[in-house]
Structure 1
Amino acid sequence: MSAYIWGYPLVRMERVARDYTTVPSPKPDTSYRAPLNQIGWATSLATPDAHDMPTSNNDTFYMSAVVKLDEPYILTVPDTNDRYYVVNVFDMYQELEHYIGRRTTGTQAGRYAIVPPGWKGELPAGVKRLDVSTDKIWLWGRLRIAQGEAVEPVLALQKQFELVPLSAFGKSGAAIKSAAPLKPLPSVQGDEFGFFTELGAAVQDNPIRETDKALFGQFARIGLTEKGFDPSKLNPQVRAGMARGLADAPAVAVASLASTASKRNGWDWVTGLDSFGYNYSLRAVVAGPYLGGNGEHEAMYPIRYTDAKGEVLNGKHRYSIHFDSAPPVGAFWSVTMYNAGDKMLVANEINRYKVGTDTQGLYKAADGSFTIPIQHQKPSGADAANWLPAPEGDFYVILRMYQPSDAVLSDQWKLPQLNRVD
């Protein structure tokens, strides 16, 4: 079980590296997939039909690039004129190693070299060096697009983000070879220990982090070493225990979220997404349905599964959230609705998947307060302006706060309660 929780993010990232570099044809507007070593952009906001990533936001265009670092790669970013964007640099353990974007590097044009382990050489002048700890990395980006905003200028801005190998940088007209696809992960059809077979392949391609070597050394008892996974010498008792561990480990990891998260007025409040340390359970949970989440200074994602009385949210009831004031953020905020079953956005008659900074016609009182009705059926009267449509069954909501202020992080600004009103 310990090996599963430790290794799940690595296996998940290796799977994602292959999934996100397999480009469908035709490519949906909401897809950010691209061939290896190339940038892919979504050109429309996520919808209920966009199944690539659970819990997608409805605030930004997503960007993805899986990069195999045979040499440094240089990312050129344009001047976004204060438009919010962030590009996260993840290693293959789903550790967030660097931020590029509005909060950390500003929104002026810039160049950043993603440098693989052990590389020695000179970089061009004006290029900032970003060292990473694995030979493959995932660039995961977000670019703000407001509801009702003209999309063409934003699409033009996307095209100014460029990614090239150092060997081609600054060489006008240089031909950049298309990278060969990543080799497939081993086939695990009919393999009762398929996860460990994949993990064994992954550790051969990714160095064990220094801080993890003592823990990883214990996994030799189950046949997992830096040379791969070999179950041939395991006795029946160990094999049976491993099978039980594999069956239980996902639930154990999810259950650990309760001990990792704090509660703020009924909301699950989780920090540390860019500094997991030894919290392997949190890293495993985030690598699943919350893959690519930002650290708390970039964005906060309080999640709400229950009402003020602790009962699971369900579309057969009506709810509301009252804000005394809008969340104090440096960028923008939103409350987004998700189906509990598949963690996807909820289809509805007005095609509204969130309420937030850019909700057109959002009604606020003279003192700046406002209420968001949450229910399946469209409310009547003034409540319709702020309505967040819910599904018929169980659901949850996420309050996203991009560049949250110190007041948010310190709990000086209080999260609003979610009340059942019927």
Structure 2
Amino acid sequence: MSPTFRSVVAPSDDTLYTSALIGVRHEPAILEIPDTAATYGVLITDVYGNIINTDISTTSGGTYAFTGPGWSGSLPPEVAQIALPVTNPLLIIRTNRFSSEGENQSALAEEFRRSLRMGPLLAYERGVLAETLILPVTFWARSFKRDAGRLIRNNPIRFLRELQRGVRDIRTPPLTGDNRELADEFDKLLATGRFDEEFARATQDAQSAIIANYLDNTDQNNWINFRNIGFWGREYLDRSSIAEFCQYCNGIDSSAYYNVFQGEDDRPLNGASGGYVLTFERDQIPQSRDFWSVTSYISETINLHRNPEDKYVVASYTPGLETNEDGSISIYATPTPPPGVSTANWLPVPDGPFSMLLRVYSPEGSVADGTYVPPAVREINQPERNEGAPRGGG
């Protein structure tokens, strides 16, 4: 992973990605997963980001057939059927680069993703499933978040027409009920051109509401945590808000996400202030079966910050991560390495606005039950406040 990757917001440097756009309109798609000692997770969503639950094992290999709605046919006996509610979902397999004990397994993860095979049923029967195609990171260089934001500001009507194209695309599940009626009425009104001013203003207002819904969803330490990721139901505002800041995130059973844009003093995080420290007290360290990590992002695009060390994350697996004498762990988010601090505990941040994202993989304890609150982010030059400051941990 690198700052060149901008197509999806909040990319993770904890895992190697493998993804596929699955098409099962005409025949099943086959996925072969080899036996491996690597730890990986499987995420399947529709184009709206709804998570599709499956019975794909992540502890042993297997051969799976994805079938579309209404499909009827026969499969080879060694192939397990995964019935999908849509014809064009997105598959993402994330393979951990480190074990829960901190062992570097990047080579194993790379070997695993290169050994994945996929293709239509006919290709499987002929023994010619496609190998994994490893693309250069430059393939993902375009920031769609930035482009969409600029279009909404400068040409909102064009943005709406692009949105129409997406809704009408054959890969998009058709809208139903009230949503279909609303979309049809919208299409008619937009086509007249008589309401462009109203639609433009409404689009910009909606974008502001989407962003505010995310940024205002804070706990007492200014961390943002949504626990309904991928299972929104009719919470359309939550769905849109999370897509702005954490695309293709896992459900809470797989990963917990805590995002912060403000420090303890309620001011936006900004590396120009000198930097910040995030200290997990011994009883505040996130509980997980795998590991936890903290990543910093540029605020505007929610992408990685380019730095001379090519370092984007501090995690429980970070080699040499130091623990304080009292058992706590301090992470220093600064533009340059702070004096007297281990490089392992240093998280490079831009000399300007930034945010941080705490990921907890395979959460346990208070993280799993929803009572965990990460500690406040404190400016390094500010004295620590102990007068009844809230602590997380449930």
Shorter chain as normaliser: what TM range? Answer: 0.7 to 0.9
Partner of 1:218: 182
| Identical residues among aligned pairs (%) | 26
Listed as ranges, the gaps of 5+ residues in structure 1 are 1-45, 177-187, 225-229
Instruction: State the match for 2:23 in structure 1.
Output: 68
> What does residue range 265-414 of structure 1 map to in structure 2 within 5 Å?
265-317=221-273, 318-325=275-282, 326-414=285-373
Residue 278 of structure 2 aligns with an amino acid whose one-letter code is I
Deviation at 1:173, TM superposition (A): 4.9
Aligned with 2:84 (options 132, 135, 141): 132
Equivalent AA in structure 2 for residue 246 of structure 1 = T
Which of residues 29, 34, 37 is equivalent to 1:78? 34
- Is the Cα contact below 8 Å between 1:336 and 1:397 reproduced in 2? yes
Q: Is the 8 A contact 1:53 1:289 kept in 2?
A: no
State whether residues 88 and 100 of structure 1, in contact with CA within 8 Å, keep that contact through their aligned partners in structure 2: no
State the shift of 1:341 in Å. Answer: 2.5
RMSD: 2.8
Distance 1:148 1:52, change over 3 A: farther
Is the 2:117–2:129 contact (alpha carbons within 8 Å) kept by the matching residues of 1?
no
1:255 matched to 2:255 = no
Report what 1:19 is aligned to. Answer: none
Match of 2:122 in 1: 167
CA separation in 2, counterparts of 1:381 and 1:136? 52
Deviation of 1:308 after TM superposition, in Å, equals 0.9
Q: Indicate whether 1:243 and 2:200 are aligned.
A: yes
**1:120 aligned partner:** 72
Distance 1:262 1:113, change over 3 A: farther
| Deviation, structure 1 residue 295 | 1.1
- Deviation of the 1:121 alpha carbon: 1.5
**1:43-62 to 2 correspondences below 5 Å:** 46-62=1-17
State the partner residue of 1:36. none
The answer to whether 1:194 aligns with 2:164 is: no
Partners of 2:182 and 2:348 lie apart in 1 by: 49
Gaps of 5+ in 2: 132-150, 382-394
- Preserved contact between residue 271 and residue 352 of structure 2 (Cα < 8 Å): yes
Opposite residue 312 of structure 2, the aligned amino acid is: Y
Alpha-carbon separation, structure 1, partners of 2:302 and 2:163: 26
Distance 1:348 1:161 in 2: 33
Structure 1 residue 367: deviation in Å?
4.9
> What CA distance in whole angstroms lies between the structure 2 residues aligned with 1:240 and 1:341?
26
CA contact (8 A) 1:86 1:100 kept: no
The aligned amino acid for 2:178 is A
Mapped to 2, the partners of 1:371 and 1:192 lie a distance apart of 44
Give 2:95's aligned residue.
Answer: 143
Q: Residues 381 and 95 (structure 1 numbering): CA distance in 2 closer, same or farther, change over 3 Å? A: same
CA 1:54–1:330 in 2, change beyond 3 Å: closer, same or farther? Answer: same
The answer as to whether partners of 1:192 and 1:243 remain within 8 angstroms in 2 is: yes
**Using a 3 Å threshold, how does the CA distance of structure 1 residues 127 and 55 change in structure 2: closer, same or farther?**
same
How far apart are residue 59 of structure 1 and its match? 0.4
Q: Please list, as runs of the form range in 1=range in 2, the aligned pairs for 1:30-41 lying within 5 A after superposition.
A: none
CA shift at 1:262, angstroms? Answer: 4.6
Q: What TM-score results when the alignment is normalised by the length of structure 1?
A: 0.75
Relative to 1, partners in 2 of residues 1:361 and 1:114: Cα closer, same or farther, differing over 3 Å? same
User: For 2:307, what is the secondary structure of its paired residue?
Assistant: coil
Q: Aligned AA for 1:76?
A: E
Q: Offset at 1:356?
A: 0.4
1: CA distance, partners of 2:180 / 2:215 = 25
Match of 1:208 among 170, 174, 177: 174
Distance 2:251 2:323 in 1: 30
TM-score (norm 2): 0.80
**CA distance in structure 2 between the aligned counterparts of 1:192 and 1:342, rounded to whole angstroms:** 19
